[in-house]
């Protein structure tokens, strides 16, 4: 389950780092973007939808620094690692990293490269076996004192909170995996159901073709296993479509709610985009129906009789006054 734990922890770390910079994003929205799915845009107007897209872009950039840095990003991470190693060797992995982080920020550098360098430094020092994204993002919230005596303990507490959150998430994922194995049992001795659950649990999302390749079985047999698991409620389908579907354990169910469902197919219309002539015919039919249903409103003729009588009375009064 290493890949799933890394995926979920990086999602949360990217969300926290983006939130410190003022970008609030749903981690499941980011998960949908990373898996190539089309997420729902929940904004009520253009401004809110644009804000949500900008937040997702900022979180995606933070995720990229932590998981798949580009060539230029790797160069920046190498520079940050050199700064961190110069202090961790004398002050220890945590206090040295905190002091190096302050030195890096005070030099006017971005925080993202140093966050990516922390995982590599701690793996080299033997603190971590897996590159878990511990960033201490909460220590950079507005209102936090920048003094050494105050900020360093705050950053270390933020690291502790993030480690606790990853531990709780890991236990939850493990319990879900074990529960799925128990409910998938009772098969024949030659059944691949338990092995399929293990493969599904090892991936954030998985397709039938990937499952078939991992288990060296036919795609048809993999689809039958996935459909059986769906009926039992062991897994969830996250794409809302009938082809190229992706599956995951029940812990990824919020991702299904975030993904935008496929547009409804018009009854009677064949697959693919309709030809231009068909679209013109539909428009002509609609125009004809609208013309046939149109009936002009009766013209309103105002009644000025009372107004004319009042004006005539005023004229008579004016004549008497003048006489």
CA dist., res. 131 & res. 68, Å (int): 12
Extents of the domains making up the chain: 2-157, 185-258
CA dist., res. 36 & res. 228, Å (int): 26
Q: Which pair of tokens denotes residue 102?
A: 């302050």
Q: Which pair of tokens denotes residue 94?
A: 């945590």
Q: What is the dihedral of CA 253, 255, 259, 261, to 10 degrees?
A: -10
Per-residue pLDDT 10s for the chain (323 aa) are 788 888 888 889 998 999 888 888 888 888 888 777 777 777 677 777 788 888 888 888 999 998 889 999 999 999 999 988 888 888 888 999 999 999 999 988 889 999 999 988 898 888 888 888 999 999 998 888 888 899 999 999 999 999 999 999 889 888 888 888 888 765 666 678 888 888 888 888 888 888 888 888 888 888 888 888 888 888 888 887 777 788 888 888 788 777 777 666 556 666 666 666 655 555 554 445 444 555 666 777 788 888 888 888 888 888 887 76
- Any bridge partners for residue 247, and if so which? 206, 237
CATH number assigned to the domain covering 185-258: 1.10.10.10
- Any bridge partners for residue 236, and if so which? 248
Is pTM beyond 0.85 here? no
Q: Which residues are CB-neighbours of 162 under 8 A, at least 6 positions away?
A: 13, 16, 134, 135, 136, 137
Dihedral sign, CA of 129, 132, 137, 139?
negative
């Amino acid at each position: 389950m290493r890949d799933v734990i890394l995926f979920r922890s990086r999602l949360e770390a990217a969300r926290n780092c983006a939130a410190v910079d003022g970008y609030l994003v749903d981690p499941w929205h980011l998960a949908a973007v990373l898996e190539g799915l089309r997420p729902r845009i929940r904004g009520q107007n253009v401004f809110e939808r644009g804000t949500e897209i900008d937040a997702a872009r900022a979180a995606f950039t933070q995720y990229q620094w932590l998981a798949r840095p580009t060539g230029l990003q790797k160069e920046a991470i190498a520079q940050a690692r050199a700064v961190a190693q110069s202090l961790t060797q004398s002050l220890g992995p945590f206090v040295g990293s905190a002091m190096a982080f302050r030195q890096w920020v005070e030099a006017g550098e971005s925080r993202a490269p140093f966050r990516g360098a922390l995982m590599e430094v701690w793996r080299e020092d033997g603190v971590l076996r897996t590159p878990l994204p511990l960033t201490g993002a909460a220590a950079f919230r507005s209102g936090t004192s920048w003094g050494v005596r105050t900020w360093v303990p705050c950053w270390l507490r933020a690291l502790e909170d993030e480690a606790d959150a990853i531990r709780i998430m890991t236990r939850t994922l493990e319990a879900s995996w074990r529960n799925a194995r128990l409910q998938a049992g009772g098969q024949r001795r030659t059944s691949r159901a338990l092995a399929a659950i293990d493969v599904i649990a090892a991936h954030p999302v998985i397709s039938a073709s990937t499952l078939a390749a991992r288990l060296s079985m036919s795609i048809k047999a993999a689809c039958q296993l996935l459909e059986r698991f769906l009926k039992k409620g062991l897994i969830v389908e996250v794409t809302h479509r009938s082809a190229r579907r992706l599956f995951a354990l029940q812990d990824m169910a919020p991702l299904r709610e975030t993904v935008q469902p496929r547009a409804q197919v018009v009854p009677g219309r064949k697959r693919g985009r309709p030809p231009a002539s068909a679209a013109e015919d539909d428009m002509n039919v609609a125009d004809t129906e609208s013309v046939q249903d149109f009936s002009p409103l009766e013209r309103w003729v105002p009644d000025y009789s009372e107004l004319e009588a009042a004006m005539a009375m005023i004229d008579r009064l004016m004549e008497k006054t003048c006489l």
